[in-house]
Amino acid sequence: MIGLTSPTHIALLFLIALVLFGAKRLPEIGRSLGTGMREFKDSVTHQAVPQTTDRETVD
């Protein structure tokens, strides 16, 4: 097996998702996945930046 990045594999996965969830739910699921990924990325990015307190900036 080469990997799951070939167009045939992606089309097959999309077809399975379409059968399982239906055409109405797929955009909803994609939107919620995108929102979750964006929130996770933002939380990881904001934790990596050290935050200063007011006392540190005054000194």
> pLDDT at residue 1 above 80?
no
Residue 13 neighbours by CB under 8 Å, 6+ apart: 4
**Helix or strand or coil: residue 52?**
coil
Give the chain's mean pLDDT.
Answer: 81
pLDDT on residue 6: 85
Name the one residue in this structure whose structure tokens are 């904001």. Answer: 46
* pLDDT bucket at 48, cuts 50 / 70 / 90: low
> pLDDT at residue 49 above 60?
no
- Whether the model clears a pTM of 0.85, i.e. scores above it, the answer is no
Which of 10, 31, 55 shows the shortest CA–CA distance to 2?
10
